[in-house]
A and B are shown apart, each in its own frame.
Chain A
Amino acid sequence: MGAGRAYLLVLLAVAAATAIMVVLRDQVGPATVALVYLLVVFLTSLWGGRAPSIFAIVLAFLTMNFFFTVPYHTFFVDTPRDVLSLLAFVVVAEMTNRLVTRLRESEAKARSQAWEASTLHALSHAATTSGWGEQVLSAITSRVVDTLGVEECAVYLPDAGGPVRLRAATPWPSPGGDIPASIQAAFERGSEEEAGGLLALPLQAGERRVGVLAARAQDLPAETHRLLRTFAAQVALVVEQLRLHHEAAEAEALRKADVLKSALLSAVSHDFRTPLSAIRTAASGLYSNGAGWTEEGRRELLEMIDAEAARLSRLVGNLLDLTRIEGGVLRPKKEWHDISEVAARAVDHLRSRLHGHQVVLDVPADLPLVPLDFTEIEDVFVNLLENSLRYAPEGTSITLTARADSSYLRTTVANEGAPIPPEAADQIFDRFYTMAGQRHGYGIGLAICKGFVEAHGGRIWVERPGEPGARFVFTLPLSEVPAAIGTPQEAGS
């Protein structure tokens, strides 16, 4: 209620009460008159506040004196009874006024505290549940705008050692705007800066100044200003927490990358050296002078160079695959394929190295099409087959089986090699895992299988570890095969 309007209303109320009572002056006694004025004062202090009600008391006192104490229409008072009435009125009215005012104040305070608490809670909730980085900051700024009724809110954080940069704002400003000088000033001086309706609050987390919270508002109420200040302290803590978390994650990633790098180097140097030395020996042998090469001998060495180079190429492919798996950027490009075609292509791929082993494909012709990334699943087969070639004695067979139930395709690659000890059955899929006593590591092949199969939503495991022969099983989820497209002309055929 505007101040002028409150006084006007008081004036009208007192005038109306006076008018009515002047008409009824002969029927009502002074007590009634005092009670009616008291009512006006009471209502005024309830709705209008302290100052208007003091105005009401003064006004009521004067009119009472002027109209209702003998002699009428003068400010003289004849009887001690009337003097007492007037005095009692003023005292009671003022006491009422004070009581009501105090009541109102404590009520308002309680309401504002409750509002403040819920606002702060909502804001900290936004800060702690919105995931990461800029997202949290955007949640904070939009909360401030929603709950504190400011027009704009923004968070500025410094780049490492540099000037502050806008990180989140609601609403997001149109691009190209410069950062107001007061923001940088607030950050550098650690003081509140206000310029052109923009309030900049430094974010202080303990000793560290971590950024600036800015709010734009016309006539920012003192209450909101105070809330913003309280909130800035909270935001500072959140920002500091984010920074620490980020640093820790970075350190952890670096550590992991380091472990990966050294494991990779040792795996690479071992796995690459074998084909490389075969190639080098064969190639240098071929052009060495004086060697009486038969056509057959020459051909065998050339074939070896070709096969070993292909193996090197596969190793490089595996390393790239592993990097993609580690990088978490695996998005299988799923197409509908016949699993037997994928398996057969993998077998053909290794054809040149299969001489000692027999590969049996046991895949029914009526299996449903499977949504899969051809290259990735072919790689899974190739790696499982290579693994069998390496660990199963020559002359044995490797069996590739596929079966489907209603929701999964289940594929098994089984060999007649040594059993896989139960304690190794899980770790075997970890990269660079090497079983005790083995000269070759399982290296990265099985880790890639696991990565690809899981990226497809399937699972891979060792079946019946400890029993003779190694059996690797993987599943791939099936889904409903889409109906083939036809053109309208197909309808009749």
Chain B
Amino acid sequence: MSGARVLVVDDEPQVRRALHRTLEAHRYSVRTVGTGADALAALGWHPDIVLLDLMLPDVDGLEVARRIRAASQVPILVLSVRGEETLKVQALDQGVDDYVTKPFGAAELLARIRVALRHAAGQTTAPVVEAGDLRLDFERRQVTLSGEEVHLTPTEYEVLKYLAQHAGKVVTHRMLLQQVWGPAYLDETQYLHVFMSQLRRKLEPDASRPRHILTEPGVGYRFAAADP
């Protein structure tokens, strides 16, 4: 993925500088802008991924995300601050790909960028997903944990499949409900949590430290990706 173009949109010069240096050091080619208008103008540079701060001086960040999405399928990673869960969920449900919460560590950011680029490149429809001791075989509809077959209900299987196909990316409650249960169940978040806890019981040896299905508080779940 080296050499991929990253467009950084943040109104803080220090953040732009730090991101510029860090990403450059990891051999990305970087362009930074401070406003929504400049971000939209920079789409002509054809970035491979956009890092977008939602708090911009000129245009609402959500609006910028919408306009980028209208113009291109480039993955968007939101740089948000703590306490903006509602905003994050809104952005994700609007087609933003993922988020990192400021202040974030470089390792976390780089991992998210890699995942987003991988998904954008369409390298995720593999017939088999392996994550540690967990193995999903989509062709045979088979899930094994340390070689032992795990018996899942059809719905549990669908949920796991959807999460695994988006490995490493956050999946909001609404996305899961929409995808697996259908649009009539979009608000059944409370039930979803109970359901997920039952699913995890079958997959996670230690409930206190889940390794495969991670909780994103107030937002959704994330299937832990095996980071190559």
Contact = CB atoms under 8 A, between A and B. Distances in A.
B122 interface: no
A482 B191 contact: yes
Interface stretch (B8-16, B29-37, B54-62, B204-212): B204-212
Interface string B170-199: 000000000011100100111111110110
B159 to A, nearest CB: 11
A481 B194 contact: yes
A309 interface: yes
Contacts of A363: 208
Contacts of A313: 103
Contacts of A365: 207
Given A309-B103, A338-B207, A485 B217 contact: no
B105 interface: yes
Contact of B193 (A310, A335, A378): A335
Given A484-B198, A485-B185, A374 B217 contact: yes
Interface string B77-105: 00000110100000000000000000101
B155 interface: yes
B153 interface: yes
Contacts of B105: 306
Contacts of B191: 482-485
Given A335-B189, A374-B218, A490 B194 contact: no
B192 A485 contact: yes
A482 B196 CA distance: 12
Interface residues of B, number: 29
Contacts of B103: 309-310, 313
A6 interface: no
B194 A489 contact: no
A327 to B, nearest CB: 13
B44 interface: no
A348 B211 CA distance: 13
A361 B215 CA distance: 19
B21 to A, nearest CB: 14
Nearest to B192: A485
A356 interface: no
B154 interface: yes
Nearest to A486: B155
B194 A483 contact: yes
A361 to B, nearest CB: 6
A221 B199 CA distance: 76
B68 to A, nearest CB: 28
Nearest to A314: B82
B194 A375 contact: no
A487 B194 contact: no
A340 interface: yes
A337 interface: yes
B155 A335 contact: no
Nearest to B154: A489
A333 interface: yes
A369 interface: yes
A341 B82 contact: no
B153 A490 contact: yes
A341 B189 contact: no
B215 A374 contact: yes
Contacts of A338: 197, 207-208
Contacts of A482: 190-191, 194
Interface string A278-319: 000000000000000000000000000010011001000100
A490 B208 CA distance: 28
A8 interface: no
B105 to A, nearest CB: 7
Contacts of A378: 217
Contacts of B197: 336-338, 369
A363 B208 CA distance: 9
A100 to B, nearest CB: 74
Contacts of A333: 85, 218
Interface string B41-78: 00000000000000000000000000000000000000
Contacts of A484: 191, 194-195, 198
Interface string A255-284: 000000000000000000000000000000
Contacts of B198: 484
B155 A340 contact: no
A344 B153 contact: no
A485 B188 contact: yes
B47 to A, nearest CB: 28
Contact of B215 (A310, A320, A337): A337
B82 A485 contact: no
Contacts of B194: 336, 369, 481-484
A302 to B, nearest CB: 11
Contacts of B83: 317, 320
A489 B155 contact: yes
B155 A490 contact: yes
12 contacts: A306-B105, A309-B103, A336-B194, A341-B209, A345-B215, A369-B194, A369-B197, A378-B217, A482-B191, A486-B153, A486-B155, A487-B154
**Closest 6 pairs (CB-CB, A-B):** A374-B217, A340-B208, A336-B193, A484-B195, A344-B208, A485-B191
Interface of B: 82-83, 85, 103, 105, 153-155, 180-182, 185, 188-195, 197-198, 207-210, 215, 217-218
Given A341-B207, A374-B215, 11 more contacts: A313-B103, A320-B82, A333-B85, A333-B218, A341-B208, A373-B217, A482-B194, A483-B194, A484-B191, A486-B155, A487-B155
